Amino acid sequence: MPSTLATPFAPDEPMTLPAHVMACPQCGLHVTLPALRVGEEAFCPRCDEHLVSIPRSPVDAPLAFAWTSLILLLLACSFPLLAIDVQGNQTQISLLQNAEAIYRRDFALLANVLLLCVLLLPGLFLLTVIYLFSGIKTGRRLPGLRPLATLVGRIQPWMMVDVFLLGAIVSMIKMASLAQVGFGLSFWALLGFSLALTRTGCLIEPHWLHYRINLLHGTDPTQGQAEPSHGCHSCGFLSPASEDCCRFCHSSLHVRHPRSLQKTAALLLAAVVLYVPANLYPIMLTESLGRITPSTIVQGIFVMWQNHSYPIAMIIFVASVFIPIAKMIALALLCLAAAIPHQVHPLHLTRLYRVIDFIGRWSMVDVFVVIILVTLVHMGSLMSVHPGVAALSFCGMVLATMLSAMNFDVRLLWDIKQPGSTGQEHDEFH
């Protein structure tokens, strides 16, 4: 189907987002926004959630950073990532060799997580951003713009390039006392890729993006907003309450996510169950001169502390012990708060949710450390590292807690404060 030429984006437009009503994705409040110009941003007056901002280069900047990120990703896959020298035995690894080595050890889940979170999903994200903003810049109604705009937001939480980089640094420091270690060209390309990718994600404004895409399709979502209406959790625009799908991004519409508490509690229980073997069984097996030494997460922390690697010991403790336990306790408290009347202000609980939603993926650093060491240190009986069964349990626990947080509907916290509320009250932006 040929693309249709629409109105191209004009960077000198005096007004980039007209005044309209949008739904806050965190508390459900329908907020009346004023007209926003380039460089301005809006926050929810009830829960202080960031609603939308207009970057100073709303199209060119995301395109530039996305292309830069994509080039750096290709470079990161083309050169050695890390190198190690043990008594004259030299080993170099690349990103793809990491995944291949883990596959050979029959730990396919870990290899899939590495490929998806560090390579495939970031690559898909960048290609999608380039496709979307190229359509906006040229004014062409390219196929699939609406669902791809929704896909961009759903991919972002699963990109873990920065977590992988931290895992590489921890791995190198762990091996520094036993061998000569060094960073390859790929590491520096990956560092630049991580920074550029993060900046690209920060420049993506879902609400503004859906607004521009709908203009390409000849629809202005800021006009003709009917009452009663539901706010879309993906794009923030209002659709009539009688419709099941958002008319602007085609996502499913719900007053509240169906069975949100049940899904959150079930995934949380799975995370708790997985966390037990993750701590009881070895996460890594080290073979040196024919002797195999198992190491649990806690044992690894003690070893790093005894070797005076205090910063690394603290990083592993925070990422692998403190964050998982704190996140599981916090999710349990949020589920109880959403189900039972309480005196805690919903704003405090909403801020707690934002914290645990942000820190959850950093627990994956210990998994990446195991993956890197298994690939880097394989010198037979002289020195080799093997993954332990706890690595699978710990990886599953991290994924379960992330999914649990994603399935929790924060708007339920505000409903419990005002029984019978559906979150459709209005408030003026200020």
CATH label of the domain that carries residue 313:
1.20.140
The Cα-based distances of 155 to 281, 403, 406 in angstroms read 32, 13, 12
Please check whether residue 344 lies inside any domain of the structure: yes
Evaluate if residue 428 carries a pLDDT over 80: no
pLDDT at 10: 52
Lowest mean pLDDT among 8-22, 43-57, 255-269: 8-22
At 270 the pLDDT is 95
Q: Which tens digit of pLDDT belongs to each residue from 294-352?
A: 788 888 888 778 877 788 788 888 888 898 999 999 999 999 998 888 788 889 999 99
The pLDDT, as a whole number, for residue 9 is 52
pLDDT grade, residue 197 (50/70/90)? very high
For residue 405, being part of any structural domain is answered with yes
Q: Say yes or no to pLDDT of 130 above 60.
A: yes
Can you give the pLDDT at residue 366? 85
> pLDDT digit string (tens) for 354-405?
999 888 888 888 888 888 888 777 655 556 777 888 888 999 999 999 999 9
Per-residue pLDDT, averaged over 229-239, amounts to 81
Which of the pair, 417 or 191, is modelled with greater confidence?
A: 191
Selection from 6-15, 68-77, 85-94, 216-225 with the highest mean pLDDT: 68-77
Domain count, the chain: 1
Residue 190 lies inside a defined structural domain of this protein: no
Residue 361 lies in a domain: yes
Q: What is the pLDDT of residue 429?
A: 45
380 found inside a domain: yes
Q: How far apart are CA 379 and CA 377, in angstroms?
A: 6
Question: Which H or E run includes 428?
Answer: strand 426-428
| 289: pLDDT strictly greater than 70 | no
**Is pLDDT larger for residue 194 or for residue 255?**
194
What pLDDT is attached to residue 308?
Answer: 76
Q: Which residue range(s) make up the domain with 315?
A: 257-418
Which contiguous run of DSSP H or E holds residue 70? helix 60-76
Torsion of CA 66, 67, 73, 75, to 10 degrees: -160
Rounded Cα distance, 391 and 397, in Å: 10
Q: Is residue 323 part of a domain?
A: yes
For the entire predicted model, the pTM comes to 0.86
pLDDT value, residue 1: 39
| Residue 328, domain member (yes or no) | yes
Q: Taking residues 150-178, what's their average pLDDT?
A: 86
What percent of the chain clears pLDDT 90, i.e. is strictly above it? 27
Alpha-carbon gap, residue 142 to 139, rounded angstroms? 9
| Residue 76 falls inside a structural domain | no
